[in-house]
């Protein structure tokens, strides 16, 4: 049985999402707290921190991890406005889209130096396959690399300050201590960085992987972090954070959006950089009964831009469709580097589907329509 937040549309099946006695989820409660925050004081605190790191001696003063999307475009803009000299760092996505590429090029033209690190594609395809078959997450390597690569780059270029975007535990709900956090460190990464119990140290030996293959997915040593003094901040702690506002700001600085609603999403302005994201989001639906549209609709409900009943309609319309395409690329094409057929993919889907959340027939088989879509048993 799923219970939904009485305010937004998130279900209690979401890991780390807690509900209080009024039936309100902690992501909604966190947002209430943010509304009461003293943003002027937080901005002064940010200015004070930046002033300690700002340099005028032929050196970058911060690393900004950038996917090229709305949030990273916004982060770079804010750092430039605050007279920082950032080094933008991209960990290439697992299946980079043309629009994602164009948005990275646009981000560079804001006026920043940029490095892009692209892990070995053969190793990555094996990791996609291991992630999908073992923990039901094709994006496992990407979610590790977007944390490890910027930190490795900060160490390599000796830039101590890393400017992250939002703390996902805050906006999406997580343990209170983590939601209040304004720093991202190894402990945060290991606990919340999407590792799902599959550790990098488990991988050597699987699919012929060697320790050497996994350098980009490994966090730097404590010694090297201490030598450079690497520390990471969540910009979303210091500045009011609204993905939609970030998208509007980024678009006015050249960010391109998709020409229609992104498949499985409810909007056209985010998650535009990786064709595998549709599969990632679909597995969230299979495991927990909600997809990306639920996340997005909930963000808008909390900010008063959407009523709960309209959010429910949006969720029922968009969430949980079988990911035949993502950003226009067919699933056959997306699975090809993994050496995986649709049949094998569907059998993995079925294995990770929480059978309590979807209709099953008299023989115990999942009920699907002619497009392969499941039938949900619960709705917000």
Given the rule CB under 5 A, which residues bind Zn ion? Answer: 5, 7-8, 25, 28
* Shortest spacing between CB 287 and Zn ion, in angstroms: 19
Q: Which is nearer to Zn ion, 28 or 155 (CB)?
A: 28
Which CA distances in Å does 270 have to 145, 227, 263, 294?
Answer: 19, 36, 11, 14
Helix (H, G, I), strand (E, B), or coil: what is residue 326?
Answer: strand
Q: Which is nearer to Zn ion, 22 or 341 (CB)?
A: 22
| Residue nearest Zn ion, CB atom distance | 5
* Shortest spacing between CB 299 and Zn ion, in angstroms: 10
* Shortest spacing between CB 262 and Zn ion, in angstroms: 23
- Cα separation, 220 vs 56, whole angstroms: 27
- Cα separation, 214 vs 210, whole angstroms: 7
Q: Which is nearer to Zn ion, 276 or 298 (CB)?
A: 298
In whole angstroms, how large is the CA radius of gyration of the chain? 21
Q: Which is nearer to Zn ion, 8 or 255 (CB)?
A: 8
Q: Which is nearer to Zn ion, 176 or 195 (CB)?
A: 176
Query: Among 370, 366, 276, 376, which Cα is nearest to 323's?
Result: 276
* Shortest spacing between CB 10 and Zn ion, in angstroms: 5
Give percent helix, percent strand, percent coil of the chain, each to the nearest 5: 50, 10, 40
Q: Which is nearer to Zn ion, 65 or 174 (CB)?
A: 174
DSSP secondary structure string for all residues of 175-236: -HHHHT--B--HHHHHHHSS-TT--GGG-TTGGG--GGGGGGGSPPPHHHHHHHT-EEEEHH
* Shortest spacing between CB 8 and Zn ion, in angstroms: 3
Q: Which is nearer to Zn ion, 5 or 132 (CB)?
A: 5
* Shortest spacing between CB 132 and Zn ion, in angstroms: 29
* Shortest spacing between CB 131 and Zn ion, in angstroms: 29
Which CA distances in Å does 185 have to 113, 220, 373?
Answer: 24, 11, 39
Phi/psi-derived region of residue 251, left when phi > 0, alpha when psi is between -120 and 50, beta in every other case: alpha
- Cα separation, 272 vs 260, whole angstroms: 11
Q: Which is nearer to Zn ion, 12 or 185 (CB)?
A: 12
* Shortest spacing between CB 293 and Zn ion, in angstroms: 15
CB atoms within 10 A of CB 191: 13
């Amino acid at each position: 049985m799923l219970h939904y937040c009485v305010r937004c549309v998130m279900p209690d099946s979401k890991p780390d999402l807690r509900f209080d006695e009024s039936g309100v989820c902690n992501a909604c409660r966190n947002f209430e707290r943010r509304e009461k925050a003293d943003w002027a004081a937080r901005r002064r605190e940010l200015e004070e921190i930046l002033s300690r790191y700002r340099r005028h001696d032929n050196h970058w003063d911060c690393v900004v991890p950038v996917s090229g999307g709305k949030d990273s475009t916004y982060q770079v803009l804010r750092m430039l406005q605050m007279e920082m000299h950032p080094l933008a760092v991209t960990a290439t996505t697992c299946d980079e889209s043309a629009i994602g590429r164009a948005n990275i090029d646009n981000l560079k033209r804001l006026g920043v130096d940029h490095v892009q690190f692209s892990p070995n594609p053969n190793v990555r395809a094996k990791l996609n396959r291991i992630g999908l078959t073992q923990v039901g997450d094709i994006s496992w390597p990407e979610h590790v690399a977007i944390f490890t690569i910027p930190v490795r780059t900060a160490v390599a270029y000796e830039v101590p300050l890393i400017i992250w975007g939002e703390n996902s535990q805050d906006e999406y709900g997580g343990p209170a201590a983590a939601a209040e956090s304004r720093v991202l460190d190894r402990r945060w990464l290991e606990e919340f960085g999407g590792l799902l119990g599959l550790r990098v140290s488990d991988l050597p030996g699987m699919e012929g992987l060697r320790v050497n293959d996994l350098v980009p997915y490994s966090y730097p040593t404590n010694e090297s972090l201490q030598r450079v003094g690497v520390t990471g901040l969540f910009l979303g702690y210091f500045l009011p954070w609204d993905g939609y506002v970030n998208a509007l700001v980024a678009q006015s600085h050249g960010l391109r959006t998709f020409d229609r609603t992104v498949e499985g999403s409810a909007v056209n302005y985010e998650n535009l950089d990786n064709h595998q994201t549709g599969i990632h989001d679909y597995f969230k639906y299979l495991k927990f009964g909600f997809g990306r549209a639920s996340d997005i609709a909930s963000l808008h409900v909390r900010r008063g831009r959407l009523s709960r009943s309209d959010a429910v309609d949006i969720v029922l319309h968009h969430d949980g469709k079988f990911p035949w395409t993502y950003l226009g690329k067919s699933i056959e094409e997306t699975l090809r580097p993994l050496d995986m057929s649709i049949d094998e993919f569907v059998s993995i889907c079925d294995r990770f589907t929480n059978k309590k959340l979807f209709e099953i027939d008299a023989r115990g088989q999942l009920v699907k329509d002619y497009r392969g879509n499941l039938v949900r048993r619960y709705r917000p």
